Amino acid sequence: MGWNYPDISLEEMMKLIKGFVDILILASGYQSSGLLAHWDSDNIKRAFHWALFFENVFRRLRSLDVYRESLEELDAALFEMASRPSFPQGLAHLSSATLRRARGYMLEHLLHNLPLRDSHLKAILTSTIEMDLSALSETEHDCLNAYLNKLTLQNRLCMGNLFTSSLDVTPTMETEDSGSDNFTKLAVQELFRRQSAVSCISTIEEGVNILSNAVRQSSWTESDCSLFREKMKHESLPALLQSADASVAVFTWNQWKSRALSYFLDKRTIRLVSGASLIFSGTKVQWGKVFGQLNFSEKDSNCDIHEAIELLLLGCIASRWNYIIEHLTSVSYDSVTISKQYHMLANSDFGKSQTFNQKEDIMKSKEAGILDFLMGLLGGQVHLLWKSSPALTAISLPSWSPLFRLYLSEIDTQFKGNPSTMRCCSCIQDWNEHKDCELAERIWCLYIFHVCGAQMIHGTCGA
């Protein structure tokens, strides 16, 4: 039987929905060119009318059993449309159920975009109130008074809920009967949701800030000091001198550790992580297009290739940020020398015997896509990776990737002082061991992530 709604054909309905999708994209704040979308109360009202239209149609379709197959047919067509790689990921769950609450959905997009400018908020509120006033004017003689009375009632209900702390700020996704809701109620709901999200974020930011300041101030931790003191007590002086000479000094170890932690806790890094996680949640075709449009060069500050590399590397670890912080805070000092660390890295057969479960496979293929792209961007200039934080490079390159091998072989070149396009330290010329130079730090980072934290690298503990 299929589609049997008399007023409009399925093709036409899909065309209208595509138009609605375009409005929703603009409602999220930006035009496809990346410029800010312009919204005034008139075009917001137009968008609201579209939303009302869809709600009415879909309520009707839903309420009568004869249209059940129509809805199924439409949902199949919507699913097909949303699965196309060019379809915006943020709207991927669009269905007849979403369209049945199109007003709330539209308001969600209008009110959750960042940043919510004053003029934008004012336009949304104006159109919200005007829509409700005009609906009331159909039944009420004095619609303004009627509106104010309803608003007072609504406010009282809302405050009551606040006091019993059961304010319902969850989206009305499942509630079937939001048909009686007005624009005002839906807008207030979304504003509460935005407010609670913002206060959540600022609490987290504050917490991370305190942590990051603490890390910066105390790179020499108490436990490591006492460990070292303990060691001094038990070992004879020559042995101690010997081991102190070859192994990484506690002070250096702690400096590297705090530098790595500070990088990951930095506000800028966290923003990049969240941006990367958003960008790479799309398909490779989508984010590839974004990066492909940029003309990277080492000199052009507008399209800094180093920032692009950083973003790609962060894209590989975005879902594992928590575990990285956890791991970094938990590794404690051990006295393995840099050259021993280097040999452990060089001789291990990373990943050769590994089997991945399905979740790991999906993550691996996503990472592989990002790393493939990075490989192309680097064009053989592995030394560009050395501009990124040593900890980031170490954790983001999985040992099964060709880039990891390349990075390791560059480390090898530097370690032995073989000819290379760059030289990261002067230890070899000065006849010194690599101990507290950049190369030593890079080896240390690889060591603590790939040797001491292998399960984290392979994402077995991450989501």
Ligand X SMILES: *[C@@H]1O[C@H](CO)[C@@H](O)[C@H](O)[C@H]1NC(C)=O
Q: To the nearest whole angstrom, how small is the minimum distance from the Cβ of residue 447 to ligand X?
A: 38
Please tell me the distance from the alpha carbon of residue 444 to that of residue 140, in angstroms, as a whole number: 75
Nearer to ligand X, 78 or 111 (CB): 111
Q: To the nearest whole angstrom, how small is the minimum distance from the Cβ of residue 148 to ligand X?
A: 8
Instruction: Choose the binding region for ligand X from 67-75, 143-151, 311-319, 377-385 (rule: CB under 6 A).
Output: 143-151
Is residue 390 within 8 Å of residue 442, measured between CB atoms? Answer: yes
Instruction: Choose the binding region for ligand X from 28-36, 83-91, 120-128, 146-154 (rule: CB under 6 A).
Output: 146-154
Nearer to ligand X, 64 or 144 (CB): 144
Nearer to ligand X, 24 or 136 (CB): 136
Nearer to ligand X, 134 or 432 (CB): 134
Q: Return the ∠ at Cα 118 (arms to 112 and 119), rounded to 5°.
A: 100
Nearest to 178 by CA among 71, 95, 59: 59
Q: Is 399 in the site for ligand X (CB under 6 A)?
A: no
| The binder of ligand X chosen from 63, 293, 295, 357 (CB under 6 A) | 295
Q: To the nearest whole angstrom, how small is the minimum distance from the Cβ of residue 149 to ligand X?
A: 8
Q: Which residue is nearest to ligand X (CB)?
A: 150
| Count of residues of this chain found to bind ligand X when the rule CB under 6 A is applied | 14
Q: Is 154 in the site for ligand X (CB under 6 A)?
A: yes
Nearest to 102 by CA among 35, 212, 181: 181
Nearest to 416 by CA among 428, 405, 426, 407: 428
Q: Is 184 in the site for ligand X (CB under 6 A)?
A: yes
Please tell me the distance from the alpha carbon of residue 186 to that of residue 55, in angstroms, as a whole number: 14
| The binder of ligand X chosen from 130, 140, 181, 304 (CB under 6 A) | 181
Nearer to ligand X, 153 or 200 (CB): 153
Nearer to ligand X, 181 or 360 (CB): 181
The contacts of residue 416 (CB under 8 Å, 6+ apart) are: 428
Q: Is 134 in the site for ligand X (CB under 6 A)?
A: no
What is the CB-side half-sphere exposure of residue 107 using CA atoms within 13 A? 29
Instruction: Choose the binding region for ligand X from 55-63, 234-242, 267-275, 295-303 (rule: CB under 6 A).
Output: 295-303
Is residue 327 within 8 Å of residue 451, measured between CB atoms? Answer: no
What is the CB-side half-sphere exposure of residue 147 using CA atoms within 13 A? 18
Q: Is 185 in the site for ligand X (CB under 6 A)?
A: yes
Token pair listed for 401: 């990737």
Please tell me the distance from the alpha carbon of residue 209 to that of residue 214, in angstroms, as a whole number: 8
Nearer to ligand X, 181 or 433 (CB): 181
Nearer to ligand X, 111 or 248 (CB): 111
Is residue 393 within 8 Å of residue 403, measured between CB atoms? Answer: no
Please tell me the distance from the alpha carbon of residue 393 to that of residue 448, in angstroms, as a whole number: 12
DSSP, collapsed to helix, strand or coil, labels residue 282 as coil
Token pair listed for 373: 């792209």
**Residues forming beta bridges with residue 297, ordered by sequence position:** 304
Q: Is 300 in the site for ligand X (CB under 6 A)?
A: yes
Is residue 8 within 8 Å of residue 70, measured between CB atoms? Answer: no
Q: To the nearest whole angstrom, how small is the minimum distance from the Cβ of residue 316 to ligand X?
A: 26
Nearer to ligand X, 127 or 184 (CB): 184
Q: Any long-range contacts for 240-247 (C-beta under 8 Å, 24+ apart)?
A: 243/335, 246/337, 246/339, 246/433, 247/335, 247/336, 247/337
Residue with the two structure tokens 């690298």:
457
Q: Is 150 in the site for ligand X (CB under 6 A)?
A: yes
Q: To the nearest whole angstrom, how small is the minimum distance from the Cβ of residue 362 to ligand X?
A: 34
Q: Is 180 in the site for ligand X (CB under 6 A)?
A: yes
Instruction: Choose the binding region for ligand X from 38-46, 75-83, 292-300, 324-332 (rule: CB under 6 A).
Output: 292-300
Q: Is 297 in the site for ligand X (CB under 6 A)?
A: yes
Q: Is 153 in the site for ligand X (CB under 6 A)?
A: yes
| The binder of ligand X chosen from 21, 91, 151, 270 (CB under 6 A) | 151
Q: To the nearest whole angstrom, how small is the minimum distance from the Cβ of residue 181 to ligand X?
A: 5
Please tell me the distance from the alpha carbon of residue 377 to that of residue 371, in angstroms, as a whole number: 10
Instruction: Choose the binding region for ligand X from 278-286, 294-302, 363-371, 401-409 (rule: CB under 6 A).
Output: 294-302
DSSP, collapsed to helix, strand or coil, labels residue 304 as strand
Instruction: Choose the binding region for ligand X from 203-211, 293-301, 353-361, 384-392 (rule: CB under 6 A).
Output: 293-301
DSSP, collapsed to helix, strand or coil, labels residue 37 as coil
Instruction: Choose the binding region for ligand X from 76-84, 145-153, 360-368, 429-437 (rule: CB under 6 A).
Output: 145-153
Q: Any long-range contacts for 137-142 (C-beta under 8 Å, 24+ apart)?
A: none
First to last CA, the chain: 43
Nearer to ligand X, 175 or 226 (CB): 175
Instruction: Choose the binding region for ligand X from 19-27, 85-93, 179-187, 390-398 (rule: CB under 6 A).
Output: 179-187
User: 235 phi and psi, to 5 degrees?
Assistant: -100, 150
**Residue ranges that bind ligand X, judged by CB under 6 A:** 132, 147, 150-151, 153-154, 180-182, 184-185, 295, 297, 300
